[in-house]
Amino acid sequence: MVVAVKKLNPQSFQGFREWQSEINFLGRISHPNLVKLLGYCCDDVEFLLVYEFMPKGSLENHLFRRNTNTEPLSWNTRLKIVIGAARGLAFLHTSEKQIIYRDFKASNILLDEAYFGLAKLGPSAGNSHVTTRIMGTYGYAAPEYIATGHLYVKSDVYGFGVVLLEMLTGLRALDKNRPIEQQNLVEWAKPSLSNKRKLKSIVDERIEGQYSAKEAWKMAQLTLKCLERNHRKRPHMKDVVETLECIQAIKDKRK
């Protein structure tokens, strides 16, 4: 049995808090779209967390690859992946003790052997997961979180909107190698989401011809809603799931 092991620094109080947080979070809930915590241990030398292994790695690893022999993720695959991730977030937000994921981003969406068979939310590669620390990933963090440190379930929705935008464009949320005006993806692309003519110009050219204009437009409108600056105006994740499933139904009718 292949597993994934995360090692934390036992000399660090923050390492202990993260270890404890992961156990409290993944150790007490279960959902098809959340990575399973299989075990854990601690001693004077190290803190270990043992997870189920997701063989295809993260969405980040596949979405932004260029100039390789592998096929880019198709529109259908991208749609299935974000639906799976949305279901995981919706479950957390509607659980008995409402859970805020807090650091939602492409690198935390893990993929199984079939890519889209099961997209799951997993522990972050960095120092944060579901914690009370004021620490997020710039480019994904919601405006209210950056400005005040206040965190809401709708802050996760903003991060999800950023991932939707990455999925649409095939571009990273932040990239200093792009022209200055394009380095922040949300700031650059958001105005085009409400313009049908401009929308096509920002959609990933690698998936051209794989989606209908109606699908792209509905995805753009959902992305805009998730990226609302006022967190109260963003949709609930359960509503996001429903909208994504409606977009998927449009695709199925085209077959």
Active site residues: 103
Distances in Å between the alpha carbon of 111 and those of 34, 59, 116, 226, 255?
11, 7, 7, 23, 25
The alpha carbons of the chain give a radius of gyration, in whole angstroms, of 18
Reading the block at residue 98, the tokens are 């409402």
CA atoms within 13 A on the CB side of 89: 33
Strand 47-52 relative to strand 3-8, pairing: antiparallel
Task: Name the region of 35 (left: φ>0; alpha: ψ -120 to 50; beta: rest).
Answer: beta
Task: Name the region of 99 (left: φ>0; alpha: ψ -120 to 50; beta: rest).
Answer: beta
